[in-house]
């Protein structure tokens, strides 16, 4: 009897200790589409298996602008979530406010420096300390195509140049289908625009125009060509595109209503969730003219300073889980991206992911690897927002001449 009660007491103690180390993590993200929700669900499962409580803080809106607005109001109110999806140069801005937690204890214990490409590690650090945990590498310069639609329209292969693209788009139109599934939201307009900058001008021009924001490049004849091409693409979209969410545009390609979509490989998450097979049902190809280049978009979570020790422990576990091989594999299989952790086995990944992985490495050597401006990787959020608006105004208003469009974008790029 005595023995039993001793056992019960020991058990109670262990349970109490377990409970004490388990905390709640409130995680802000904008992953609400079918493929995205499945992916984030995997992180939730891992955290729950560690005994933590996952408090989902999902703010709908592709590209994350809504999520960032909500985040700002929560932080200003002194009530930040434990973790938030924050990427690229914005990480530095948040860290500069003094609100982010130092993740070095986890990063050192888990040896992140040796598990990450240096370009990525640098973005995750503020003054030499890790303040964010990277999740994946998305490639933005993809073109998705429905194989059956191409066949019906008599398009033999995915177009490799913009000239080939317009020939293909014309055939699709003649076949009575929608050539380009476009979601008319400013960040999607900007996503297509950066593909055109890269495809028409090449990686060096892209760097000059959208990373260094060089006025000479922004006002050049190449930029005129970019805007002409961009406007021509619009003529192959359907009239219902304004305001459409990106995943609904992907659904049009999945459902054989449209031939192409220009979108990062989170679109593949939708194809995957719909049970579609690359190479058979759909084709992934680099956007025209960008086969030798790679616009990267690394998702990451920054953690906010919290006082409670159990909450801090949960944050550490979340950071470790994000960089762990289990999560890196299962999350990215669903999300359409590739693991950011180096030396991961790719055997479970499809051909699009394998191509992405190969091109990521190859383009890093040739200078073709460039940060996505439309997805918060290249420039300050202020400049990004201003360019995004100018690009979107041009896309939406055919009365703006190409010359004025060039001027407006160059002017927006000067925003500090
Ligand atoms: C990107 C983000 C992706 C995906 C996409 C659509 O900015 O990096 O993970 O979620 O927006 O929402």
Q: What is the mean pLDDT of the chain?
A: 95
- Write out pLDDT tens, residues 241-283: 999 999 999 999 999 999 999 999 999 999 999 999 999 999 9
Ligand 1 centroid, distance to 64 Cα (angstroms): 7
Strands (E) across 314-388 are located at 338-339, 369-371
Count the alpha carbons within 13 Å of 17 in the hemisphere toward its beta carbon.
6
Strands (E) across 147-237 are located at 178-180
Under the banding of pLDDT at 50, 70 and 90, the label for residue 22 is: confident
Ligand 1 centroid, distance to 63 Cα (angstroms): 5
The per-residue pLDDT for 14 is 43
Q: Which residues contact 316 (CB under 8 A, 6 or more apart)?
A: 103, 105, 106
Whose CA is closest to atom 6 on ligand 1? Answer: 62
Residue 389 has pLDDT above 60, yes or no: yes
Q: Which residues line ligand 1 (CB under 6 A)?
A: 30-31, 36, 62-64, 138, 246, 266, 297, 299, 375
The per-residue pLDDT for 21 is 61
Comparing CA positions, the residue from 400, 391, 355 lying closest to residue 373 is 391
Distance of alpha carbon 394 from alpha carbon 230, whole angstroms: 9
Ligand 1 centroid, distance to 174 Cα (angstroms): 33
Coil, strand or helix: which one is 286? strand
The per-residue pLDDT for 397 is 98
How far is C-alpha 65 from the chain's CA centre?
A: 12
For residue 376, which atom of ligand 1 is closest to its CA? 7
Residue 88 has pLDDT above 80, yes or no: yes
The per-residue pLDDT for 1 is 41
For ligand 1, mutation pick of 299, 371, 372, 385 (most atoms within 8 Å of CB): 299
Contact 402, 221 (CB under 8 A): no
Lowest mean pLDDT among 10-14, 138-142, 160-164: 10-14
Task: Tell me the pairing of strands 142-146 and 125-126.
Answer: unpaired
For ligand 1, mutation pick of 120, 270, 297 (most atoms within 8 Å of CB): 297
Whose CA is closest to atom 7 on ligand 1? Answer: 63
Q: Name the residue ranges covered by the structural domains of the chain.
A: 5-138+297-361, 139-295+364-413
Enumerate the H helices of 77-182 as residue ranges.
89-96, 104-109, 112-115, 118-124, 147-153, 162-174
Q: In the CATH scheme, what is the homologous superfamily, with its name and number, of domain 139-295+364-413?
A: Periplasmic binding protein-like II (3.40.190.10)
Cα 281 to Cα 50, 67, 145, 151, 352, distances in angstroms: 38, 33, 9, 11, 13
Residue 9 has pLDDT above 60, yes or no: no
Contact 57, 78 (CB under 8 A): no
Q: Do domains 5-138+297-361 and 139-295+364-413 have the same CATH topology?
A: yes
Cα 377 to Cα 202, 252, 298, distances in angstroms: 18, 28, 8
The per-residue pLDDT for 18 is 41
Cα 280 to Cα 16, 52, 266, distances in angstroms: 53, 41, 19
Q: Mean pLDDT, to the nearest integer, of 309-325?
A: 96
Distance of alpha carbon 30 from alpha carbon 260, whole angstroms: 24
For residue 62, which atom of ligand 1 is closest to its CA? 12
User: Which architecture characterizes domain 5-138+297-361 according to CATH?
Assistant: 3-Layer(aba) Sandwich (3.40)
Whose CA is closest to atom 12 on ligand 1? Answer: 62
């Amino acid at each position: 009897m005595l023995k039993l009660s001793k056992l019960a007491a020991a058990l109670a103690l262990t349970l109490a200790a377990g409970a004490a180390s388990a905390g709640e993590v409130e995680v802000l993200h904008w992953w609400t589409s079918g493929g995205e929700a499945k992916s984030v669900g995997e992180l939730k499962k891992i955290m729950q298996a560690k005994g933590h409580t996952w408090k989902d803080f999902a703010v709908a809106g592709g590209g994350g602008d809504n999520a960032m607005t909500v985040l700002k109001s929560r932080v200003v109110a002194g009530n930040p979530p434990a973790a938030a999806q924050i990427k690229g140069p914005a990480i530095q801005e948040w860290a500069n406010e003094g609100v982010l937690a130092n993740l070095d204890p986890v990063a050192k214990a888990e040896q992140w420096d040796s598990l990450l490409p240096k370009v990525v590690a640098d973005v995750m650090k503020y003054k030499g300390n890790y303040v964010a945990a990277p999740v994946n590498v998305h490639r933005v310069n993809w073109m998705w195509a429905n194989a059956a639609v191409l066949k019906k329209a008599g398009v033999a292969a995915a177009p490799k140049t913009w000239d080939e693209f317009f020939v293909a788009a014309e055939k699709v139109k003649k076949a009575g289908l929608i050539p380009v599934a476009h979601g008319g939201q400013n960040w999607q307009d900007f996503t297509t625009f950066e593909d055109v900058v890269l495809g028409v001008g090449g990686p060096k021009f892209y760097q000059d125009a959208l990373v260094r924001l060089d006025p000479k490049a922004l006002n050049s004849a190449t930029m005129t060509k970019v805007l002409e091409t961009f406007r021509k693409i619009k003529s192959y979209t359907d009239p219902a595109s304004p305001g459409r969410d990106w995943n609904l545009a992907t659904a049009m390609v999945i459902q054989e209503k449209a031939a192409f979509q220009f979108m990062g490989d989170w679109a593949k998450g939708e194809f995957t969730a719909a049970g579609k097979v690359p190479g058979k049902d759909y084709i992934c190809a680099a956007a025209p003219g960008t086969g030798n280049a790679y616009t990267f978009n690394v998702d990451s979570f920054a953690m906010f300073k919290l006082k409670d020790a159990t909450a801090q422990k949960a944050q550490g576990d979340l950071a470790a889980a994000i960089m762990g091989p289990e999560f890196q594999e299962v999350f990215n299989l669903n999300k359409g991206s590739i693991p950011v952790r180096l030396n991961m086995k790719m055997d479970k990944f499809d051909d699009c992911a394998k191509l992405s992985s190969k091109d990521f490495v190859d383009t890093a050597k040739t200078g073709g690897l460039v940060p996505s401006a439309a997805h918060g990787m290249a420039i300050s959020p202020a400049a990004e927002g201003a360019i995004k608006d100018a690009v979107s105004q041009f896309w939406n208003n055919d009365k703006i001449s190409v010359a004025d469009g060039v001027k407006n974008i160059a002017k927006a790029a000067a925003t500090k």
